[in-house]
Structure 1
Amino acid sequence: MNPETKASGLYPGGNQYFLQRQQQSRSRIKQQKFWFTSLGYLIVLSFFALLQFIGIILFTQGFLLSRQVLPQVSSCNGSDICSEGAKFDKLVFLVIDALRFDFTIDAEGSDKHYHNNFPILHKLSQEEPDNALLLKFISDPPTTTLQRLKGLTTGALPTFIDAGSNFNGDAIDEDNWILQLHKNNKSVAFMGDDTWMALFEKYFNPKLSFPYDSLNVLDTETVDNGVISHLFPLLESENSTKWDVLIGHFLGVDHIGHSYNPNHFMMKKKLEQMNQVITDVIKKIDDSTLLVVIGDHGMDATGNHGGDSKDEIETSLFMYSKQKRFKFHKKHKSHYDTSDLGKRYRSVNQIDLVPTISLLLGLPIPFNNLGYPIDEAFEDDKKLSAASYKTIRQIEDFRLASGLTNDEVVNSKYEDFTTFYSNMKKSKKDELKAIELAKNYQISSLEHCKSMWARFDLNLISVGIIILSLSLILLMTYSRSIPSVRVSTMSFEFIGSIVAMILLGLVLSFSVFFVFRPHISLNKCLSVGVAFGITIGYWAPIMDRFSVDWICQQTKDFFIYNFNFWSFLGMSFAVLHALVFASNSYVVWEDKMISFFVLTFGFSCFFSCITKINQSKYKKIMGISHSITFIILSRLVSMINVCREEQHPYCKVTFRMSWWSVLLLYVIAIIIPLIISSFYKLTNSYYSAAPIWIGKGVRYMLLLNAIYWTLDFIGNHDKFLASSWVSISPILKSLKLGIARVVLGITLVLTNFGWSKGPLCISIGATNNVDNTSESKSSVTDNNSSSSGNSTSSIILGYGNIYGSSYFLLVLNFAVSAIFVSKPLGAISLSILLVQILTLLELIDMLDLRRNLLSSIMLCILGYQHFFSTGHQATIPSIQWETGFMTTETIVFPFTHVNIILNTFGSFIIVGLAIPLITLWRIKPSGKSITILSQIITNITTLLTYQTLTSLSSFIFAAYFRRHLMVWKIFAPRFMLSGLLLIVFNLHLIICTFWFGSGRILNQVNRIFGK
């Protein structure tokens, strides 16, 4: 029988069938409309993200310094630069990564593990001053290996933008002494840190190159053992003819600093090993070989580096020859530093090694060099004077080629030197005078080049700030000011307007480029065109459909309606946080400012719960309890500190790994699932998927996390390392690797897949007595009543929080991943964050803050609080690179990178994912799914507005203070953190929070309940 017959009523049940078909049709239409709306939101958010990315990129290109690299390569042809020939036939160049200067000098009475365990360098410099030389070696920031290797081989200064390429080094495209060796048919052997291969691979002898992976800071032996295994065979007499220069780069000292700290038992053993290596190398080299041992940078008290603190920039330079080639120049003793334990150690710049090595090996000085020959490397003033002349000639050639000849002071000092040198007599007095004039010229030239390279592209900086300001205005408009406009933006006609304006912007950009080339970059021109296309495309339809007066009235009404104490508090936090970047002192103490914001909110909630909750006594008690819990947890979190250098002595570092922090991980594994389940039970939602996820999944994953860090603590403990049990270290390492892969594989892949397909946190039962007043229950009455008149009803437990309880499971998936890649105290901090989020959601519901902008702002502020309490600061050394190797022994994309991102931005990822809960927590299924989705978008864009405001402020003040003494130490790292946060938030909120999370949970609930 056909459907029409059924629908006509000629067939029993026809009307019911027809109604069912109608209901299914309406459900499909509603579902299609929902996904159509979701797609519109997704496209709009993507346009906003693109606009911000363009602003960040343009500002960064204008702010982060770059220098002019000239392609010229120095040559001996037609000059006397190399006329005197080499002083040494061979060079053994050994780099001991992170060899801080005080690791090498005598420190009587010190009980530090890094003192008095590497005595060979100091001993020889004292006992054989004509054969050995030990100097304090000053590196230029950023103190990262790749930048230091560039400076040590080219003689040029690094720029801050190079820091980002430290883990993706490209071949050096400028003159350097490795290239000069290759040009002069010298065989260069290499072993150690594979960063050298990225820079100089084509200049090394391929048969004598033995690179090792450099970034696994948890491995303290493989690279060093590999260097030793190849170094000494090549030093044997039968192999010494195979090479002219031998380069070895040891990494153990640096990796022990990163993995432990300088004052660790392992550092003592490593320095003793390096001491023996140098001792054995000295025995094997011949009279015609120069030995150079250097550190590329130092390390701070935590074992990290990258900044410009004293411990990070002060490293060591040791030169040794069995010939008496070195001399202490008494006339220059004023340059010696007497601050180190009463001894005299002269400081030299790292770039000074470049002309020194070049001249000692008879090579042309690299064309871009700005350094000056090291005095002590030349046995008398006559030879030093000749070396000075060659260096000054090279520096002046560079200045002429680069157009840096507009400084009258530098020019006059060059004239003074050349005039005197051409007329000088062969007397000791004149030679000393020539050296002095040469140094004056080199110092002035170096300072001039620094000032010229410190030029900022103000045009790009301004355009970047303008674009970010436009994105802030659009976000404010979209999220809060004019909610009615959002309905219009969902139409593809509106999106088409943006696309059309982008195309028009691209056409205009091409036109501008062809008119002004080559003075303008095509990529930058197109970026600006796209940015302004998005802006105009957004505003044009609004201005076309709505009058300016109407928009102003809507904005006024909206703000009047929403303005109250909580709104004022939220805007105060936003403004105060933005103003933090106006002072270097406030930037330094930003972590304390954030703690103040969180505690202020907690106390505000406490007093509000006492005075304003006029409902049941139970609700008032619960509100007060949540407020007190929030305050106590916030205070506990603020006690976990990693101190910036500038915060000393007013800050005490508490972020350390200890037995009690590992023990707390087991406590956390027990109580956190219990606390989370108690919040679920408050809303009667601890059913179905919840006990599996929380009671078993979270508990077992946190337990594995505790086991992992227990193994790590045991394996790195001094007593274990000094015992015979150290032989099982490979087994412990394998166990840790297996646990890490299991936990992250489950939490990032399996649980998210299961969540997308899994059941909701509800339970259905039957009863004759239904309490319809419960907000967490729903009842459905059976139509077939009994003869007695009693009706049977089905109870849906968890109905009142069906969205929130199910969605929070997704937050737990990512939270457990971030907890695992955090160190013990960081894991404890993020566990507390989960409880803070739940208490915040309860307070938002009780105080009716669901639609208030403060709710989104507070979640973002919590992200900042836990960024600091997980051991991070807005500094390069605070990045915990070692966590990248928890799942792999070498760098493997994307696993290494995901670990570092989760470790660094884990707190922001958690709060970003929790944003929809402001809307979803404690609400029942609704037929108005698009309205709920719209409110989620409001909260997402409010969070983005807050982050954009703070990021824009940090950009503006970084540009304003670009000549400030602390710009590269404080303002620049903070603006880079702001830029990265905007990128992370945009990508995470669009992909995970909105597309994967919110859309799926709303669709799943509506599909099941037919809403």
Structure 2
Amino acid sequence: MDIDTNPPTDGNKSSARIQQQSRTRLRQQKLRYTFIGYIIVLCFLAITQFIGVGFFTKGFLLSRHVLPNIAECVDNSCMRPAKYDKAIFLVIDALRFDFTIPVAGSTEYYHNNFPILYDLAQKENGLLLKFIADPPTTTLQRLKGLTTGSLPTFIDAGSNFNGDHIDEDNWLLQLRRANKTIAFMGDDTWTALFDDYIDPQMNFPYDSLNVWDLHTVDNGVIEHLYPLIQKENSTQWDLLVGHFLGVDHVGHRYGPRHFSMKEKLNQMNEVLEHVVSNLDDDTLLVVIGDHGMDSTGNHGGDAPDELESTLFMYSKSGKFLKKDESAYDVSNEGRNYRSVNQIDLVPTISLLLGLPIPYNNLGFPVDEAFSSHEEILTASYNTLKQLKTFRDNTPNLAHTLLEQFDTLIQHYHDKTYSEQDILLMAKEYQYLSLEQCKSLWARFDLRLIGIGLGILFLALTFMITYSRSIPAVRVSTMSFEFIGSVIAMTMLGLVLSFSIYIVLKPTDFTIWNCLAIGTALGMVIGFWAPIMDRFSINFLWNQIIDFFMYNFNSWSFMGIVFVIAHCLIFASNSYVVWEDKMVSFFLLTFGIGSIYNCAVNTELSRPARILGLSHAITFTIMTRLASMINLCREEQRPYCEATFKTTWWSVLLLHVISYILPMFIASFYKLSDSYHSAAPLWIGTGLSFLLFMNAVYWTFEYVQNSEYFNNMNLIIGIPLIKSLKLAIARLVLFITLVLANFSWSRGPLCVKLELKEENSDESDVSDEAETPGKTATILGYGNVYGSSYFLLVLNFTVAIMLTTKPIGAVSISMLIIQILSLLELSDILAIRKNLISPIIFGLLGYQHFFSTGHQATIPSIQWELGFMTTETIFMPFTHLNIVLNTFGPFIIVSLAIPLITLWRIVPSNKPITVLSQIITNVTTLITYHLFTGLSSLLFAAHFRRHLMVWKIFAPRFMLSGLLIIMLNLFLIVVTLWFGTGRILTQINRIFGK
């Protein structure tokens, strides 16, 4: 922009200035009111979506109804006298079964380094079995099953990081009722569950979720365990529980193939040697793993490596009745080894300690845990009676399997069959009972599911109308009509729903459900009422047709195809499993289409075609490279090879990126002559420094975890490295999320005022003076919105790159280049107002979600990165790290979506029009995620009886639900309120005409 610096001679200069200032203030005030109106409408729409997701989730993830009864020893149902007076119960978290057996020829760190269990099991007083967990394999859910004998439903896994006091009968409660003393040390999940039963003088819990801490919990357990098992102290307790976490934490942090796994297993071997040497004759030693771990060290699903754990029993005076040797075959890593279900431990340990079997138990005693066939028959008989009592008091079970039970009990009394046959029939009865219970608890509340889907569908219909179909709907006056109508209809809905609840008093529908439905329906009616009042049906239909007639082209068609195809992915479990490849295919299709369009588009000038081709090729190459970074799901093997690994070269790449990424970004800024003022400071200095600090952090992390460096006497000790890492992580996050954002809010502009003696002929100047004379040129005027706003995107990008593992940070760097290339293409190909642009942004979020080491599975959540800035769980910092890590790509995309409108445009004297187009793109992105989310929820409900529902469809719908919530919140609060509002207001105030 050129400004004539010769003073005007008009005598009315002062009056003109006053009028200009008045018009500017009026325009700013109108912009502010319009902006507030949009924000409020989007908040109402977000609340409607949240209610829909909440209803669906409540109907899909049902909690199991627990019987409150407490079992008692009646009719000789307990085995008295107890076989063992005391027990030591040690849990080695994530002790996968093949960690404990000899594996010939293996050089893996997790093999052949924990031999004591297998060696002792070769004696008649030792027993080692494969212990099969019930999915999902999260610690709290497993502890419930191990103590109650029940099968907690899928939703119980969500309480794993929250603590949840147990509310049903369990064998620790039975011990307490028998006046036994329980001592505990280790994972504080036990305290959350069983605090009422543990002796407060012998209760030593430790924080369980800092998976980067390998030793604190284990060392604490050892510190309190060793003194208590000494002979002089053994009379203080009847049950001693110790829960070690080191093996699990090594898996989460490094995976099972790390040298730390060998050290940890060796330590556990030494602990067991010490415990066995101090064990007295009346004490039963039980060592278990609560679950296993997959090849990445994670768990939570139902892969064999996650389910196969360990059960070990030992007693100096006891004897275990084992089966033939073929049942304990350790060849092929124990694939054919004898296995038992985890819930089978509950009746087993209860009967061995002379306790009643917990009332809700569904398991069956382990044969080998008893010393004679007579004991086994007695144990199985008592368990059958307990199962029958449970079934008699459970709705829908009381009148089933009656004939089988009566016949079986008759066989016990008559002994018409051999002991082995009777035992097999008893196991068959228990299996049928268990399967019936699983079927009963797998029931879904179809009413709540239907309500949730209906509310989301209504929200989607309005979002489509609001975002694209009827531009007249989004005018400022309509926004305030929406607000008044929504508030009025919502109040009416609340009153009506409350009245209906009071009159009908439904027993199976809470008042909160009624009020939520009234709120959602009131909002939907409130949205549509002003539209229907102002526009007729025919007008609306004609507007929709006109929109498609005048805005529909090949790019729009491509965008619609991508949305439809993405929604249809959820109709097949195979496509859901390979969603990462499907998303990459969509993006590559767009990239190739852009290359073709730039090559053949004759309307473009030669320089524009060359520039467009370079951006299209850059976008396509980055997309292809990003698709090569992946973390394989279990279902993708053996057709997928994981490349998401922390290696020396990935850490080296971070140092390279700290140098070349600012250069790439600067080159894009220079294309629009915007690399001035704040840009060199933000990009050339700040970004480079912070990326270098990120690289230093992960260098320290790699050194700390490297076997080579750990075997050397480093000048910088490990404790010092740990302190430096904490300092770097805290510094980077403070600068990027607080200091840099505060500075950005003060208004850095990437422009430069250049004085010239004559007119400039530069092509990037927006306005040129037509008369000779001294002029001032504003460099960067043609991209003043976009260049300034993109600095905000960089602030969050650096924070997200820190909380992402090195190869994931490389992926985020590619995302930034893809976004910049896409913005340039949107300008060159004139698709900034096209449907395709926000859809490609949405697809980019998904691609980099997968390429940063995530999948729609519970085990892929990188919990360990929550402890980058804290050593213990500290709200909100631990949670913030996990959110940035998991949703980082979606956050970057959501923050960058206004750039579709703002990139490469001059300051407008109609800022409301600019804001309206930004709202169009924001709501289009929300609509895209609503489409995919609603499809995911719909097919999850349709396949609720599918074999893969809890492994594939349920985790995917939960990801969709979280994305709907997270994106709405971030887009409204950060992207619009903090970002777009400030940039439009500031530039309108500075350059307003």
The Cα shift of 1:614 comes to 2.6
> Residue 954 in 1 paired to residue 936 in 2?
yes
CA contact (8 A) 1:56 1:468 kept: yes
The counterpart of 2:397, out of the listed 405, 413, 423, is 405
Q: Which deviates the most, 527-536 or 907-916?
A: 527-536
Q: Tell me the distance in 1 between the aligned counterparts of 2:450 and 2:83.
A: 53
Q: Which deviates the most, 712-721 or 731-740?
A: 712-721
The counterpart of 1:892, out of the listed 874, 894, 902, is 874
> Residue 88 in 1 paired to residue 88 in 2?
no
Report the secondary structure of 2:717's partner residue. helix
The Cα shift of 1:555 comes to 0.9
The Cα shift of 1:430 comes to 4.5
Cα RMSD for the two superposed structures: 1.8
> Residue 810 in 1 paired to residue 802 in 2?
no
The Cα shift of 1:342 comes to 6.9
CA contact (8 A) 1:256 1:266 kept: yes
AA paired with 2:425?
Answer: L
> Residue 454 in 1 paired to residue 451 in 2?
no
Q: Tell me the distance in 1 between the aligned counterparts of 2:422 and 2:330.
A: 27
> Residue 579 in 1 paired to residue 568 in 2?
yes
Q: Tell me the distance in 2 between the aligned counterparts of 1:339 and 1:442.
A: 30
> Residue 202 in 1 paired to residue 196 in 2?
yes
Give the structure 2 partner of residue 322 of structure 1: 316
Give the structure 1 partner of residue 406 of structure 2: 415
Q: Which deviates the most, 334-343 or 552-561?
A: 334-343
The Cα shift of 1:22 comes to 3.4
Report the secondary structure of 2:550's partner residue. helix
The percentage of aligned residue pairs carrying the same residue is 61
The counterpart of 1:29, out of the listed 26, 30, 33, is 26
Q: Residues 374 and 726 of structure 1: is their aligned pair in 2 closer, same or farther, counting only changes over 3 Å?
A: farther
**Number of residue pairs matched by the alignment:** 984
Give the structure 1 partner of residue 625 of structure 2: 636
The counterpart of 2:492, out of the listed 485, 504, 514, is 504
1:100-119 to 2 correspondences below 5 Å: 100-119=96-115
CA contact (8 A) 1:844 1:855 kept: yes
Q: Tell me the distance in 2 between the aligned counterparts of 1:518 and 1:773.
A: 76
AA paired with 2:427?
Answer: K
What do residues 516-552 of structure 1 show as CA deviations (whole Å, max 9, x unaligned)? 4212121212111111111111111111111111111
Q: Tell me the distance in 1 between the aligned counterparts of 2:271 and 2:974.
A: 52
CA contact (8 A) 1:683 1:776 kept: no
CA contact (8 A) 2:79 2:379 kept: no
AA paired with 1:556?
Answer: I
1:944-983 to 2 correspondences below 5 Å: 944-983=926-965
Give the structure 2 partner of residue 50 of structure 1: 47
1:589-988 to 2 correspondences below 5 Å: 589-725=578-714, 728-771=717-760, 774-778=763-767, 790-988=772-970
Report the secondary structure of 1:723's partner residue. coil
The counterpart of 2:213, out of the listed 219, 222, 231, is 219
Q: Tell me the distance in 2 between the aligned counterparts of 1:219 and 1:831.
A: 30
Q: Tell me the distance in 2 between the aligned counterparts of 1:67 and 1:123.
A: 41
Report the secondary structure of 1:299's partner residue. coil
Give the structure 2 partner of residue 384 of structure 1: 376
Report the secondary structure of 2:222's partner residue. helix
> Residue 369 in 1 paired to residue 361 in 2?
yes
The Cα shift of 1:306 comes to 0.5
CA contact (8 A) 1:626 1:842 kept: yes
Q: Residues 253 and 899 of structure 1: is their aligned pair in 2 closer, same or farther, counting only changes over 3 Å?
A: same
Report the secondary structure of 2:581's partner residue. helix
> Residue 234 in 1 paired to residue 225 in 2?
no
The counterpart of 1:184, out of the listed 153, 175, 178, is 178
The counterpart of 1:358, out of the listed 314, 326, 350, is 350
For structure 2, the 5+ residue unaligned runs are 1-8
AA paired with 1:396?
Answer: K
Give the structure 2 partner of residue 3 of structure 1: none
Which of 1 and 2 has higher RCO (CA within 8 Å, sep 6+)?
2
Q: Tell me the distance in 2 between the aligned counterparts of 1:263 and 1:812.
A: 36
CA contact (8 A) 1:779 1:794 kept: no
Q: Tell me the distance in 2 between the aligned counterparts of 1:618 and 1:343.
A: 65
What do residues 107-152 of structure 1 show as CA deviations (whole Å, max 9, x unaligned)? 12211111111011101111x1x21100000000000111001100
Report the secondary structure of 2:260's partner residue. helix
What do residues 432-479 of structure 1 show as CA deviations (whole Å, max 9, x unaligned)? 343233212111110100010011111111111111111111110100
Give the structure 1 partner of residue 979 of structure 2: 997
Q: Tell me the distance in 2 between the aligned counterparts of 1:14 and 1:244.
A: 101
The Cα shift of 1:512 comes to 2.6
Q: Which deviates the most, 15-24 or 256-265?
A: 15-24
1:279-294 to 2 correspondences below 5 Å: 279-294=273-288
Give the structure 2 partner of residue 300 of structure 1: 294
1:119-198 to 2 correspondences below 5 Å: 119-126=115-122, 128=123, 130-198=124-192
CA contact (8 A) 2:392 2:399 kept: no
Q: Which deviates the most, 800-809 or 107-116?
A: 107-116
Q: Tell me the distance in 1 between the aligned counterparts of 2:769 and 2:28.
A: 24
Q: Tell me the distance in 2 between the aligned counterparts of 1:233 and 1:642.
A: 44
Report the secondary structure of 2:129's partner residue. strand
1:235-274 to 2 correspondences below 5 Å: 235-274=229-268
Q: Tell me the distance in 2 between the aligned counterparts of 1:372 and 1:337.
A: 23
AA paired with 1:946?
Answer: Y
Give the structure 1 partner of residue 4 of structure 2: none
Give the TM-score, by structure 1 length: 0.95
The Cα shift of 1:615 comes to 3.5
The Cα shift of 1:727 comes to 8.6
AA paired with 2:104?
Answer: E
Q: Residues 321 and 35 of structure 1: is their aligned pair in 2 closer, same or farther, counting only changes over 3 Å?
A: same
AA paired with 1:205?
Answer: D
Give the TM-score, by structure 2 length: 0.97
CA contact (8 A) 1:193 1:211 kept: yes
Q: Which deviates the most, 858-867 or 500-509?
A: 500-509
Q: Tell me the distance in 2 between the aligned counterparts of 1:297 and 1:62.
A: 28
Q: Which deviates the most, 826-835 or 375-384?
A: 375-384
Give the structure 2 partner of residue 482 of structure 1: 470
Q: Tell me the distance in 2 between the aligned counterparts of 1:564 and 1:970.
A: 36
For structure 1, the 5+ residue unaligned runs are 1-11, 782-788
AA paired with 1:190?
Answer: F
AA paired with 1:1000?
Answer: R
The Cα shift of 1:80 comes to 2.1
Give the structure 1 partner of residue 5 of structure 2: none
The Cα shift of 1:395 comes to 1.3
The Cα shift of 1:406 comes to 5.5
AA paired with 1:497?
Answer: S
The Cα shift of 1:269 comes to 1.0
What do residues 378-420 of structure 1 show as CA deviations (whole Å, max 9, x unaligned)? 1111111111121111111111112233564x22221112222
AA paired with 1:353?
Answer: L
The counterpart of 2:517, out of the listed 525, 528, 551, is 528
AA paired with 2:76?
Answer: D
CA contact (8 A) 2:784 2:905 kept: yes
CA contact (8 A) 1:405 1:411 kept: no
Give the structure 2 partner of residue 5 of structure 1: none
The Cα shift of 1:772 comes to 6.1
Give the structure 1 partner of residue 534 of structure 2: 545
Q: Which deviates the most, 163-172 or 721-730?
A: 721-730
